[in-house]
Amino acid sequence: MYLYDVHVHTSETSLCGKVDAKTLVHMYKNAGYHGLVITDHFHGDYFNTLAGSWKDRVNEYLRGYRIALQEGRKTGINVILGIELRFEENYNDYLIYGIDEDFLFKNEYLYRMNIKTFHDYVRETPVLIYQAHPFRAAVFLEKPEYLDGIEVYNGNPRHESRNEKAAEYAKKHSLKMISGSDFHQVMDLARGGIVLPEAPKDSMELANMLAEGNVIRLIQNN
């Protein structure tokens, strides 16, 4: 069995991240995880602080992921690309799996779309949309037809995510379920994640495993 945390932030890219990419890779290795998904925040508030072309901005955005990827190769932990996407329409966050770097380079200003247009855009692709912590304050519960799944357990100890309600909603609407640590600080280590029967090599393989329901267990460490 393979332990993966699918909601992890680096200090190089996420403005609220407090742990650098190299350090967090070693932390997860020591915690017994086999892989992690870097899901740094992808929204206008971040990209508006950057200068240069879209390519320049995406390269800067990918800095935390790329450092983690290289360190993971050295230490034997699999690092996968994801994003935590927020559109300009509200404060909802969506964990996006099934993408690669080219997807980000080729699709400028994804955050200027909305959940419906984004869903329609990726519907015939491997991309999956999971609403992150959907029952937090100031967050709107999204219509199930625009989602592939729900983060039913968010391990961040500084927010009241009301995980039990997220699980109830996912079950009611037959949505896929994941768990993530929402790692930002040292204290967030290994508080969530998923157990898989095989090790996905990239985000597309992970998305395929999630779509097929190949999650053995959700990790929920309070």
Q: How many residues does the chain have?
A: 222
Q: What pLDDT shows up at residue 211?
A: 97
Per-residue confidence in pLDDT tens, the chain, 222 aa: 999 999 999 999 999 999 999 999 999 999 999 999 999 999 999 999 999 999 999 999 999 999 999 999 999 999 999 999 999 999 999 999 999 999 999 999 999 999 999 999 999 999 999 999 999 999 999 999 999 999 999 999 999 999 999 999 999 999 999 999 999 999 999 999 999 999 999 999 999 999 999 999 999 987
pTM higher than the cut 0.85 = yes
Q: What pLDDT shows up at residue 64?
A: 98
Domains and CATH numbers, the chain: 2-220 (3.20.20.140)
Of 79, 61, 82, which Cα lies nearest the Cα of 129? 82
Task: Kindly list the distances between the CA atom of residue 215 and the CA atoms of 79, 112, 179, 197, in Å, as whole numbers in the listed order.
Answer: 18, 32, 10, 7
Q: What pLDDT shows up at residue 213?
A: 96
